[in-house]
């Protein structure tokens, strides 16, 4: 039986970080399954996938060694052990809109998302707490007045609940690169337009004002750039002549829930591979 883990390394860029981390893992009999790193404005970020055969993994030694290495490098090093066949622990971020959250929780209850387990609902408002309580999912209110402390609190909650991936179910806050890199290609968002058209918060209004005849929604992985992440799934609907903005919005919201669920199912089925910023189904 193989054991798997994801490592994230974040801090000020310096020479030898990759070599130090991979050498330590080699000493711990790990196999490097994948590695991706980048440097942005002097900030080094790396995500690494590692695996061990059977009894080769000594978790306590790995965790302690990485903690010592983090101190020596003056960087943050996090490791999350994951078992490939267990249910994926899902955190759902919401604001005030209910349609996507309700659809996800209903799908979980109906075993349509049997490979996922909702472990946390996080919101910058308290409006949707009754829904979380009704479905017996832990709810956390993070006001999000200032982004840095809010993201710090959110990351702590994700770690406490051992979340494997995050779904932004109409969460109306922008996540920083510092947050996104910790869950690279593990944060799924639903956007109310056929990206790359109409990015930003007022997509339905833009579609209405431009008089488009076909509108739609896009589920995508969140990247460092707003509404530019790798696209997972899309759906469209026709705009009838004379349709009002509320009618367009209502049609879009109905579609949002369906496309978001489709994207989550593809993610859980491990049928997605991101290559040079493009999602490939495998």
Kindly give the parts of the chain with pLDDT less than 70. 84, 271-282
Whether 77 and 92 share a structural domain: no
Structural domain boundaries, residue 135: 88-281
Sign of torsion, CA 253 257 260 262? negative
Residues annotated as catalytic (active site), given as ranges = 227
Picking from 5, 4, 56, the residue whose alpha carbon sits closest to that of residue 27 is 56
Tens digit of pLDDT for each residue in 213-238?
999 999 999 987 777 788 999 999 99
The residue from 82, 103, 132 where one domain ends is 82
Tens digit of pLDDT for each residue in 193-217?
988 888 877 888 998 999 989 999 9
What is the number of domains present in the chain?
2
Cα–Cα dist 58/60, whole Å: 6
Whether 77 and 119 share a structural domain: no
DSSP the chain: -EEEEEEEEEEE--TTHHHHHHHHHHHTT-EEEEEEEEEETTEEEEEEEEEEEGGG--HHHHHHHHHHHHHHHTSEEEEEEE-TTSPEEEEEEESS--HHHHHHHHHHHTTTTTTEEEEEEEESSSTTHHHHHHTT--EEE---SSHHHHHHHHHHHHHHTT-SEEEESS--SPPPHHHHGGGTT-EEEEESSSTTSS-STTHHHHHHHHT-SEEEEEEEE--SSTT-SPEEEEEEEE--TT--HHHHHHHHHHHHHHHHHHHHHHHHTT-EEEETTEEEE-
- Report pLDDT for 202: 86
CATH number at residue 126: 3.40.50.170
How many angstroms from the chain centroid is the CA of residue 21? Answer: 24
CATH number at residue 63: 3.30.70.260
Whether 168 and 56 share a structural domain: no
| Cα 244-228-248 angle, rounded to 5 deg | 10
Whether 116 and 37 share a structural domain: no
- Report pLDDT for 84: 65
Q: What residues contact residue 249 under an 8 Å CB cut-off, 6+ apart?
A: 204
- Report pLDDT for 148: 94
Residues 230 and 272: beta-carbon distance below 8 Å:
no
The residue from 82, 114, 143 where one domain ends is 82
Whether 60 and 106 share a structural domain: no
């Amino acid at each position: 039986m193989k054991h798997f883990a994801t490592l994230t390394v974040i801090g000020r860029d310096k020479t030898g970080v990759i070599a130090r981390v991979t050498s330590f893992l080699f000493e711990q009999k790990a196999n490097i399954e994948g590695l991706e790193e980048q440097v942005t404005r002097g900030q080094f970020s790396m995500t690494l996938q590692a695996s061990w055969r059977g009894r080769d993994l000594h978790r306590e030694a790995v965790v302690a060694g990485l903690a010592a290495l983090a101190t020596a490098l003056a960087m943050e090093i996090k490791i999350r052990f994951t078992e490939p066949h267990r249910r994926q622990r899902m955190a759902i971020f919401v604001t005030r809109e209910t349609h996507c959250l309700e659809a996800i929780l209903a799908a979980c209850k109906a075993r349509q998302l049997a490979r996922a387990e909702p472990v946390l609902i996080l919101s910058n408002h308290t409006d949707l707490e009754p829904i979380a309580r009704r479905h017996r999912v832990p709810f956390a209110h993070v006001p999000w007045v200032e982004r840095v402390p809010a993201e710090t609190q959110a990351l702590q909650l994700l770690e406490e609940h051992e979340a494997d991936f995050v779904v932004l179910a109409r969460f109306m806050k922008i996540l920083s690169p510092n947050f996104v890199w910790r869950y690279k290609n593990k944060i799924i968002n639903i956007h109310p337009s056929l990206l790359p058209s109409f990015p930003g918060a007022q997509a339905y209004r833009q579609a209405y004002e431009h008089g488009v005849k076909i509108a739609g929604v896009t589920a995508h992985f969140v990247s460092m750039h707003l509404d530019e992440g790798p696209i997972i799934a899309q759906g469209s609907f026709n705009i009838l002549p004379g349709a009002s903005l509320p009618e367009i919005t209502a049609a879009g919201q109905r579609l949002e829930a369906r496309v978001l669920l489709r994207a989550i199912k593809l993610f859980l089925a491990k049928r997605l591979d991101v290559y040079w910023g493009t999602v490939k189904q495998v």
